[in-house]
Structure 1
Amino acid sequence: MEKAVEARLKEKLISTQEIFKGRIIDVQVDTVCLPDGNTAQREVVKHPGAVVVLPLTDKKEVVLVRQYRHATGEILLELPAGKIDPGEEPLACARRELEEETGYRAAELTVLTSFYSSPGFCDELIRLVLAKGLTRGKACPDAEEFIDELTIPLDEAVRMVVDGEIKDAKTGFGLLACLNMVE
């Protein structure tokens, strides 16, 4: 990025105060110096990062999971996903989450792209991983996860995103992004 643009837009960190330390996220309040010299506070959710897996069958069907999300109070249709554990590589996380949530194993895992989930307040970087060469196994979700798994044609899943039936952002992004990336 050119220095003139950075000088006009970038904020400089003055101080950080940790507000909450949790099992999945931490929350901090940063005091920053704005480009015009004024100061402001930014509330930031710190997240270790995550993967979202797009399991694609040989028939161009996608494996989705349905689960209740307490924050929204809704049962949502999503791609398998999960938090990257400390020291874990994204592809290892994708392999683990795919198997835990759906029972499927993939012969081929490829990181297609990465994106921020909600950069206005959160540093969570999500890696979109394409999973191909799927073999069915037995799902073993975490003790606190209650999940249904279903397989639908990719074009039907994309239609569901466009029609608002799939409301989860990472799933919508993953399904729409893969349209131009899969053979």
Structure 2
Amino acid sequence: MSAIAVLGNGRVGGNLAAALTRAGHEVTVADRAPGAAADAARTARIVINATPGAGSLERLAALREELRNTILIDVSNATLDGPDGLPADLVYPGSSLAERLQEALPDTRVVKTLNTMLFPVMTAPGMLAQAPDVFLSGDDPQAKQAVRALLADLGWREEWITDLGGIQTARATEAAILFVPYVIRANGFTPFAISIAR
């Protein structure tokens, strides 16, 4: 069991918090109330960033002391939305939110994952007709191993988890968000994950 803080209580954060609680973890969810994120992060071993990606860097950089020596799981994508509210472009082209977070939080171990799928798949990968993939990006092997264990608690089988390498590889998975609006316009909000056929 791990002490986990989920920053963000929208669909993504709420879904992850509920699933991790069911898996036996001690989960705290931080809403937008002043000080809530700092209080939650201060007592957690693992913090999940499920805040809207365009504002995540500013929010989390302000928690540098609270996030010291923690694992930060970043599941957000930093995008600029189009007129229909769907992602239209990247906030950090040529980089990634995860890389910016690692630069801003040098004493925090950042791992990027779960950002290449619609949110229901994050906690129920078996719902898809075909085996999905989930990707890991991060510089700390022990942090990535801890995240693998959490993914297993969410139903991800070992063979569905691909370690892409260092934190810079997050720019590839974050760029994959640009597929999403086209898939949604074609098929609606049917759950899907971006996967590699083997």
TM-score range, shorter chain: under 0.3
The TM-score, its normalising length taken from structure 1, stands at 0.26
The TM-score, its normalising length taken from structure 2, stands at 0.25
Structure with greater strand share of residues: 1
Structure with greater helix share of residues: 2
Whose radius of gyration is greater, 1 or 2?
A: 1
